[in-house]
Amino acid sequence: MEKEQNEFVVNLAKMMNKNVDYVQDLPKNPSKMEEFVDWLERKFSETDVDYLTERFDYSKPMNEDDIFGSFHSELILGIEKKDDYFCGIRANHFCVEIGWSEMIYGVFAIVTGNHKGTRVSTIFKVD
């Protein structure tokens, strides 16, 4: 049986110079996840600061240029590190969402972590 391929996964695979199976198998394959984490860290380090929001208040109403409020997740992954930094956030467990925003063209990553009761989210462009 052939795996379903959506346009977003196909485009993400192209951005990463990988095939679609690689992207679809990320959650099940630790070595691929490790490679993906490295790729995401490189993208984060190349990020234009204008797209980066290190702390986000989820209780604020959405405005016309709100990337978070208009974000659509296409790929969601959990990443575990031992009290370490990942994409500028310190935590043990991270949620990574790869998707797009209705407000700004492109593919974005949202990385979220919680350290000592402070939830932090970072968003940055990956394409």
Q: Tens digit of pLDDT for each residue in 28-40?
A: 888 888 888 888 8
Cα angle: 46, vertex 74, 9; to 5 degrees: 80
Cα angle: 73, vertex 78, 82; to 5 degrees: 145
Lookup: tokens for 55: 């702390």
Q: Mean pLDDT over residues 10-30, rounded? A: 84
pLDDT at 65 exceeding the cut of 70: no
> For the chain, how big is the Rg over CA atoms in Å?
15
Buried/exposed code over 39-73 (b: 16+ C-beta within 10 A; e: otherwise): ebeebbeebeeebebeebeeeeeeeeebbbbebee
H-helix segments, 1-127: 7-15, 20-24, 30-45
Query: Would the pTM of this model clear 0.85, i.e. be above it?
Result: no
Q: Mean pLDDT over residues 60-85, rounded? A: 79
Cα(87)–Cα(110) distance, integer angstroms: 10
Domain locations along the chain: 7-125
If one compares 61 and 102, the residue with the highest pLDDT of the two is 102
